[in-house]
Amino acid sequence: MIELKNLSKVFKVNNDEIVALKDINIRIDNGEIFGIIGLSGAGKSTLVRCINLLEKPTTGDVIIDGLNLTNLSKKELLKMRRNIGMIFQNFNLLEQLNVIDNVCFPLSLLKISKETQKEKAVELLKLVGLEHRLSYYPSQLSGGEKQRVAIARALATNPKYLLCDEATSALDPNNTQSILSLLKEINEKMNVTIVVITHEMKVIEKICDRVAVIDSSSIVEIGKVSEVFTSPKTIITKELVLPESTKINFTGNLGRKIRLIFDGTSTEESILAKLILETQTPINILYADTKELEGVTYGHMIVELPENKKSEEKIITWLKHHNINYKEEL
C-alpha cells in the first residue's frame, strides 16, 4: 500500500517559489491500477517522483507498506527503490547497451551472477514479447518495443509497485493499446500495483480501477473510474472526460441540449437507435464518446432535442423509462 499524507512540494527557483504539489492525500491499495490524470504542468510528474523520492517532498510523508520513506537513510532508500519500478515517457534506455543488457542493468547493480541476470532478463523479455530482440540495440527498436524493454527492465528486481509517468504518450494508438494491455496483464499475473500518470482519459478508462484528478497542484477529485468518468464534478474533470466539448461550435439555431450519460446502469444495447425508432423523433448528435464494455454502454453523448415541446417530452419520458441519466448542457 502506498500512502501519501499531506504531501507538498515547493520548488525554489532563484527567489521564486513554485508550488508544484499542495497537500496531497492519496491511498493506493495493493493490486490496483491507480491513475493520476491532469493537464500539463498540473504536477503529475512531481507527484509520481515523490513516491520513490526522486523528488524529496517539502512537507508530508510517503508511506509504503507502513515504511515512511522520508525517514529512511540513503542506503535504505536505495534498497526500497528496488521494490518500486518506474517507466518513463521517453523510455530512458541505455543506448550503448543491447536489449538484454538493459534488462540486466538493475540486477548488475547488485551482486548477482551474470547467468542469473541473463536468465531473469530472458524470462522478462519473453513476458513482454521481445525474446527475438535480445541483442538489438535501442536505436534499432520502435517506440513500442523500447517501452517493452523499459517495462522488462523495471520488473527485473521483482518490484511490488510500478510507476508509469506518461508511459504511452510518445506512442501511436496501436502501441498505446498494446502497452496498456501489457500493463494490465502484469498487474493481474504478477500482482504488481501500478500507478499510471497520464493526461489522456483513454488511458485511465482502459486500465485503471481508480483515478485521481490533479489540477494546479491539488487533487480535485478521486474515485472509481466509472464514477469519475460518468459524473465529473469539477470543470477540469469535465474537460478531461469530454476533451472536445469545450471546443464544439454550437452555432446555428439550436434547441435544448442534453448530455446522455451511459454509466452502465442501463443494460440496453444500441440505445440511440431504439430511442429514435420508438419515439419516432429525430435527434441531432453533437458529440459522442461512448464505448461498449461487456455489452454495457459507457460514455457520454450530447444531443440536441427537436424544437417541439411534445417531441421533447416524448424523449425525456423514454429516457427516464429506460433508466438513462441525462443532464442539461448549456
Partner 1 sequence: MFLSEMLRDLWNNGLIQIGILETIYMTLLSSLIAYIIGLPLGVILNITDKDGLTPNKVINSILGFIVNIFRSIPFIILMVAMLPVAKAIVGTSLGNRAMIVMLVIAAAPYIARVVESSLKEVDYGKIEAAKSMGATDLQIIFKVILRESIPSLTTGAVIATVTILGYSAMASTIGGTGLGQIAIIYGHQRSNADITWLCVLLMVVIVQIIQEVGIYISRKSDKRILKSRNN
Ligand X SMILES: Nc1ncnc2c1ncn2[C@@H]1O[C@H](COP(=O)(O)OP(=O)(O)OP(=O)(O)O)[C@@H](O)[C@H]1O
Stretch that binds ligand X, among 12-20, 141-149, 226-234, 305-313 (CB under 6 A): 12-20
122 belongs to the binding site for partner 1 (CB under 8 A): no
18 belongs to the binding site for ligand X (CB under 6 A): yes
Integer CA distances (angstroms), 221 to 2, 188, 189, 243, 319, in order: 18, 26, 29, 17, 28
281 belongs to the binding site for Mg ion (CB under 5 A): no
- Closest CB to Mg ion among residues 213, 302: 213
- Closest CB to partner 1 among residues 95, 119: 95
Q: Kindly provide the b/e burial profile for residues 228-262, where b requires at least 16 CB atoms within 10 angstroms of the residue's own CB.
A: bbbebeeebbbbbbbeebeeeeeeeeeeebbbbbb
Stretch that binds partner 1, among 93-101, 185-193, 264-272, 276-284 (CB under 8 A): 93-101
Stretch that binds partner 1, among 106-114, 178-186, 232-240, 293-301 (CB under 8 A): 106-114
Stretch that binds partner 1, among 91-99, 175-183, 194-202, 218-226 (CB under 8 A): 91-99
Q: Which of 45, 168, 176, 279 binds ligand X (CB under 6 A)?
A: 45
139 binds, among Mg ion, ligand X, partner 1, none (CB under 5 to 8 A by kind): partner 1
Q: Which of 40, 73, 249, 251 binds ligand X (CB under 6 A)?
A: 40
- Closest CB to ligand X among residues 36, 303: 36
Tell the smallest beta-carbon distance from residue 93 to partner 1 (Å). 8
Residue 326 · residue 317 · CB < 8 Å: no
46 binds, among ligand X, Mg ion, partner 1, none (CB under 5 to 8 A by kind): ligand X
Residue 39 · residue 214 · CB < 8 Å: no
- Closest CB to ligand X among residues 14, 253: 14
175 belongs to the binding site for Mg ion (CB under 5 A): no
Q: For the window 215-254, what string marks contact with ligand X as x by the rule CB under 6 A?
A: ----------------------------------------
Tell the smallest beta-carbon distance from residue 319 to partner 1 (Å). 49
Owner of C-alpha cell 518506474: 86
Q: Which of 8, 58, 70, 108 binds partner 1 (CB under 8 A)?
A: 108
Q: Which residues contact 66 (CB under 8 A, 6 or more apart)?
A: 1
Separation between Cα atoms, residue 299 and residue 47, nearest integer Å: 28
Residue 107 · residue 135 · CB < 8 Å: no
**Of residues 197-216, those binding ligand X (CB under 6 A):** 199
Q: Which of 6, 29, 65, 78 binds partner 1 (CB under 8 A)?
A: 78
Q: Which of 21, 28, 45, 161 binds Mg ion (CB under 5 A)?
A: 45
What sign has the CA pseudo-torsion 268, 269, 271, 277? negative
Strands 2-13 and 59-64: antiparallel
Give the residue among 51, 305, 14, 283 at the shortest CA–CA distance from 164: 51
CB neighbourhood size of 98 (10 A): 18
Find the length of the chain.
330
Residues lying near ligand X in the complex (CB under 6 A) are found at 11, 13, 18, 20, 38, 40-46, 199
